[in-house]
Structure 1
Amino acid sequence: MEAFLYSALFAPLVGSVFGIPFATREKVLSVAIFASLMIGVSFLSSLFLFVYTFQNGILKSVLMDWIGAGGLYIPFGFLVDGVTATMMIVVTLVSLCVHIYAIGYMKHDKSFNRFFIYLSAFVFSMLILVVSDNFAGLFIGWEGVGLCSWMLIGFWYQRDSASFAANEAFIMNRIADLGMLLGIFLIYWTFGSLTYEEVFNNIYEAPKGILVAIGILLFIGAMGKSAQFPLHTWLADAMEGPTPVSALIHAATMVTAGVYLVIRANPLYVMIPEVGFVIASLGAFVAVFAASMALVNRDLKRIIAYSTLSQLGYMFVAAGLEAYWIALFHLATHAFFKSLLFLGAGNVMHAMNDKLDISKMGALYQPLKYTAILMMLASIALAGIYPFSGFFSKDKILEAAFGSGAYILWGMLLLGAFLTAFYSFRLIMLVFFGEKKHQEHPHEAYPYMLYAMLPLGILAVFSGFFEPFFHHFITHTLPDFDSKLDSQIVWNLIFITSFVALAGIVFAVIKYYKGGFSPCWEQTFIYRLLFNQYYIPYLYEKIFIQSFIKISRFFWSQIDKKIIDFIVDGIAYMLNGAGFRLRVIQSGNLSNMLRIMFFGLILLLLLIFIS
């Protein structure tokens, strides 16, 4: 089985390295085809590993010794259990679909080859993150996906907005990663190891205060990667990258790494339920907070990005309430329908010549029929309507919240379900069924792009039915969660949740069938508050960015120029002046040189005599 592990892990790296010699050349289609084939190899290998773990197998492998210094020993080791196998399937399947789709999407881009180099490198980094058997290896993959995300968000670096968005994502994640790194240092200081098995086996012997500190520091890293409040602003701005990047990185894989970290560290968070409840509370807040901003946004991709933020909040609620397998289940189902939504948005963008304002679209159903159907299927799944996949996973999270006695969190998630259904079908109505408000001549995407979306569409509809099998499989690795609710209460909760979601859909369809809200709505305080993202980016601009610029200018003018430059220039002037005065020694005049030599000899003799 190790051969399958290494095939799954290193095939994307081979695909990336293959394209490097062609990075600056004209489009070479074979670069994209070979990269896609390597992702296909990785997916098939991951599938074999999933079957192996489904049969109760756990694979451990050490490729080589990595770090050995004093008492510190960190192997380059890998662990494939139920959690890892699930993440590998999700990452490689979505990556394969996105790679094939991107061949058409990026067809006319002058940096076609470079795009696939970056994209395959990202997949390799993400697999390192999920397959590593220790926190150090996880951190290497963690930083690798951050670097690849920076390169892909800023892929069109000629745009100032893309460069700013890439830097914002990179810097904000570096701030959060400092917390995670401190947590890893504290783990080694406490346990003398960074390997999951050794750390979690000794977790019960550690002081409670240390465990709380570790849990908080690791979660700070998770907040940055999964864009949780207040480190959330980068995700919407990251939509400046190509749409396949948004589908893979900012919907299905990298942004879920924070959720994966909490799930992987579940023995730690079981010991500190108070930290877990804080995580769940923040997740419930973000679920409503992000959904509220999606209600009024007009940018096609940003609406889906806010939806991703909201759904990540749902995952953190489940993880914080110790329903780890439910969090992982929603992570998987969400990856399918959300990446499908982003790819559909890419088709709409191409049809509309890269325009993103949904209020200036409309009547796109006929020219983009297949895209519209796939996006509607994904939106129904996102809204959580039976029998689509989102129903099964989202309903389980609401059940977990109610069964844990967290009734306020349950109420917030229920509100989030209504808002999700409303803004999802607001988008559908304005883009596909509303009044035509454009002069474009839209056309459907290439057939193979639609075929690449089809597996995601099938999984968005049917993957929820695998819940019993997934539950049986994953609870060999993760602790089971029992809400302790009788069947009547569970059915009542299902009815309430479904009714609320359907109400959101019906309200959106009726409202936007009649033309939407009146223009007066856009003049209200609430609309402006939501449209401007609660003015948080403005506050960050004023408090942090402008303050940093002022501090930098002060240090440049008062410290750099007046002190550092003065010292450096002073040394240069002194040496230059000394050289000018001493040049007489090298004048070439024999009489002067003999005279200097005589006085030097006298001085030397005096020094010898004195000493």
Structure 2
Amino acid sequence: MEAILYIALFAPLVGSLFGIPFASKQKLISVGIFASLMLGFSFLASALLFVHTLQGGVVKVILMDWIGAGGLYIPFGFLVDSVSATMIFVVTLVSLCVHIYSIGYMSHDKSFNRFFIYLSAFVFSMLILVMSDNFAGLFIGWEGVGLCSWMLIGFWYERDSASFAANEAFIMNRIADLGMLLGIFLIYWTFGTLSYEEVLSSVYEAPKGILIAIGILLFVGAMGKSAQFPLHTWLADAMEGPTPVSALIHAATMVTAGVYLVIRANPLYTMIPEIGFLIASLGAFVALFAATMALVNKDLKRIIAYSTLSQLGYMFVAAGLEAYWIALFHLATHAFFKSLLFLGAGNVMHAMHDKLDISKMGALYRPLKITAILMILASIALAGIYPFSGFFSKDKILEAAFGSGAYILWGILLLGAFLTAFYSFRLIMLVFFGEKKHEEEHPYEAYPYMLYAMLPLGILAVFAGFFEPTFHHFVTQTLPDFSANLESQTIWNLIFLTSFVALSGIAFAVLKYKKGGFSSKWQETFIYQLLSHQYYIPMLYDRLFIQNYIRLAKVAWLIDKCVVDFVVDMIARFLNSSGESMQWIQGGNLSKMLKIMFFGVVVLLLLVLIFFVCMEAVWTTF
């Protein structure tokens, strides 16, 4: 199994390295095909590892020694258990579909080759993150996905908006990663190792204050990667990147890393339930907070991005309430229908020549029938309607909140379920069934192979939830079991209530937008303006941080120009003028040069004499 693990891990890296010599050359379809082929090998190897762990096996390998200094020993080690096997299966499956889809989506882009180099490197970094057996290796992958996301979000760097979005994501994550790095330092200082197995088996003996500090610092890192409030603004702006990148970031890679970290460190968070409840409370807030912003947004991709932010909140609620396996289950099901939504949005964008305003679309069902059906299926799964996959995982989170006595969190999540259903079908109605408001005469469907790449995601979005019992048994080999401890009747009541709320949200959206939607007066209200401006948080950040930073940079520039440059220029002028004034010494007149040399020798002898006289005087004195 060791060889299979290395194939799963390094095949995407090979696909990335293959394209580097062609990075600046004209499009070579072979670069995209080879990268997709390598992802295919990685997926097959991941599937074999998944089957192996499903049968109770665990794979541990050490590639090489990495750091050995004093008492610090960190190998390049990898671990595949039920948690990491689930993650690599989801990551490679979604990535394979995205790679194949991208061959068509990016077919007319001048930087086609460079795109696949970045995309495969992104997948490789995520696999390093989830397969590492220690916190240092996780951090390497963590920074790798941060770097690759910067390159991919800012892929069209000639656009100022893309460059700003890439820098925003990078800087936000660097702020959060400082907290995570401090947490890793504290782990080593406390336990003397960074190995998951040794650290997480020793948390029961460590002082609780230290555990709380470690738990908070690690979660700060998770807040950045998973875009939790107040480090959330980069996620929607990251839509400036190509749509396949959005599908990969939001479904299976970067933003799920924070949830994975909390799940992986579950023994730590089990020991500090107060921090866990804080995580759950923030998750519930973000679930509702993001859903409200999606209600009024008109940007096709940003609506789906806010949906991701909201669903990450659901995952953190489950993880914070110690329902770790449920959080992982929702992470997996969400990956399928969210990537499907983004890829469907890419098809709509191509048909609309990259226009994103859903209020200016409409009547796209007939020309984009297959895309519409797939996006409707994904939206039903996102809304949590039986028997789609989102129903099983989201319903389990609501049960966990109710069974844990967190009734306020449960109520917030229930309201979030209504809003999710509403904004999901608001998008569907405005894009596919509303009155035609665009000028495109012949919107066209995507290439057939792009639709085939979306098909596995559509199937899993519908049927993945039925594997819940098997998944539960599988991941609880590694994760602690969680049961809501509710009576059967109570569970059924919760299911019916949640389903009724979600169906009401869908029905309200369909009926409202079938009649043309809300009146223009709604857009003039304070609530609409508040939501459409994202609660004015980006504006606050701009004035509080960006503008003040610009002012500070201008002051630093003036200091550099008026002080530093002035001093350097004065030194240069002095040396230049002194050189010009002394050039007569090397004038070529031999007699004059001999006189100067004689004068110099006399001066040196006088200086030596003075030195010895002074030393004699000092010696006599003492």
TM-score normalized by the length of structure 2: 0.97
Matched residue, 1:603: 603
* Contact 1:23–1:111 (Cα < 8 Å) also in 2: yes
Is it true that 1:531 corresponds to 2:532 in the alignment?
A: yes
For 1:554, the aligned partner's letter is V
Look up the SS of the partner of 1:79 in the other structure.
strand
Distance 1:44 1:127 in 2: 14
* Contact 2:381–2:391 (Cα < 8 Å) also in 1: yes
Distance 2:217 2:581 in 1: 61
1:215-234 correspondence to structure 2 within 5 Å = 215-234=215-234
Distance 2:578 2:225 in 1: 57
* Contact 1:253–1:335 (Cα < 8 Å) also in 2: no
Matched residue, 1:41: 41
Is it true that 1:340 corresponds to 2:337 in the alignment?
A: no
Matched residue, 1:246: 246
Matched residue, 1:369: 369
Structure 2 unmatched ranges of 5 or more: 613-622
Distance 2:582 2:111 in 1: 58
Distance 1:484 1:141 in 2: 37
Matched residue, 1:479: 480
For 2:460, the aligned partner's letter is L
Matched residue, 1:131: 131
Matched residue, 2:618: none
Matched residue, 2:578: 578
CA-CA distance at 1:69 after TM superposition: 1.3
1:118-267 correspondence to structure 2 within 5 Å = 118-267=118-267
CA-CA distance at 1:582 after TM superposition: 3.0
Matched residue, 1:91: 91
Look up the SS of the partner of 1:259 in the other structure.
helix
Distance 2:177 2:491 in 1: 39
Deviations 1:305-347 (A, max 9, x none): 0000000000000000110000000000000000000000000
* Contact 2:153–2:166 (Cα < 8 Å) also in 1: yes
* Contact 1:251–1:305 (Cα < 8 Å) also in 2: no
CA-CA distance at 1:252 after TM superposition: 2.6
Deviations 1:383-413 (A, max 9, x none): 0000000000000000000111100000000
Matched residue, 2:615: none
Deviations 1:159-181 (A, max 9, x none): 11111111111111111111111
* Contact 2:250–2:338 (Cα < 8 Å) also in 1: no
Distance 1:250 1:544 in 2: 26
Distance 2:566 2:395 in 1: 67
Matched residue, 1:268: 268
Matched residue, 1:549: 550
Deviations 1:272-329 (A, max 9, x none): 1111111000000000000000000000000000000000000000000110000000
* Contact 1:329–1:393 (Cα < 8 Å) also in 2: yes
Look up the SS of the partner of 1:511 in the other structure.
helix
Is it true that 1:490 corresponds to 2:491 in the alignment?
A: yes
Matched residue, 1:569: 569
Deviations 1:486-530 (A, max 9, x none): 111111111110010000000000000111111110100000100
RMSD: 0.9
Q: Any runs of at least 4 consecutive aligned residues in structure 1 with deviations exceeding 3 A, and if so which?
A: none
Matched residue, 1:7: 7
Is it true that 1:327 corresponds to 2:332 in the alignment?
A: no
Distance 1:251 1:14 in 2: 23
Structure 1 unmatched ranges of 5 or more: none
For 1:369, the aligned partner's letter is K
1:259-408 correspondence to structure 2 within 5 Å = 259-408=259-408
Distance 1:571 1:138 in 2: 50
CA-CA distance at 1:442 after TM superposition: 0.5
Moved more, 248-257 or 208-217: 248-257
* Contact 1:78–1:131 (Cα < 8 Å) also in 2: yes
Matched residue, 1:26: 26
CA-CA distance at 1:554 after TM superposition: 1.3
Distance 1:582 1:280 in 2: 77
For 2:554, the aligned partner's letter is R
For 1:448, the aligned partner's letter is Y
For 2:372, the aligned partner's letter is A
Distance 2:585 2:191 in 1: 67
TM-score normalized by the length of structure 1: 0.99
Look up the SS of the partner of 2:582 in the other structure.
helix
For 2:128, the aligned partner's letter is I
Distance 1:584 1:418 in 2: 90
Distance 1:23 1:553 in 2: 36
Distance 1:30 1:400 in 2: 48
Distance 1:604 1:420 in 2: 89
CA-CA distance at 1:607 after TM superposition: 2.6
Deviations 1:427-462 (A, max 9, x none): 000001100111102111111111100000000000
* Contact 1:269–1:275 (Cα < 8 Å) also in 2: yes
Deviations 1:538-579 (A, max 9, x none): 11111100010011111221x222332233223223322332
CA-CA distance at 1:192 after TM superposition: 1.1
For 2:593, the aligned partner's letter is M
Moved more, 571-580 or 208-217: 571-580
Matched residue, 2:454: 453
For 2:380, the aligned partner's letter is I
Deviations 1:467-486 (A, max 9, x none): 00000010010001121111
Distance 1:368 1:27 in 2: 28
CA-CA distance at 1:414 after TM superposition: 0.3
Percent of aligned positions that are identical: 82
Distance 1:363 1:334 in 2: 28
For 2:276, the aligned partner's letter is G
* Contact 2:251–2:336 (Cα < 8 Å) also in 1: no
Moved more, 19-28 or 314-323: 19-28
Instruction: Tell me the matched-pair count.
Output: 610
Please identify the structure whose Cα radius of gyration is greater: 2
1:425-464 correspondence to structure 2 within 5 Å = 425-440=425-440, 441-464=442-465
Distance 1:587 1:209 in 2: 78
CA-CA distance at 1:425 after TM superposition: 0.3
CA-CA distance at 1:597 after TM superposition: 1.3
Distance 1:424 1:220 in 2: 30
For 1:575, the aligned partner's letter is L
Distance 2:30 2:260 in 1: 34
CA-CA distance at 1:587 after TM superposition: 2.1
Is it true that 1:592 corresponds to 2:562 in the alignment?
A: no
Look up the SS of the partner of 1:283 in the other structure.
helix
Distance 2:250 2:578 in 1: 61
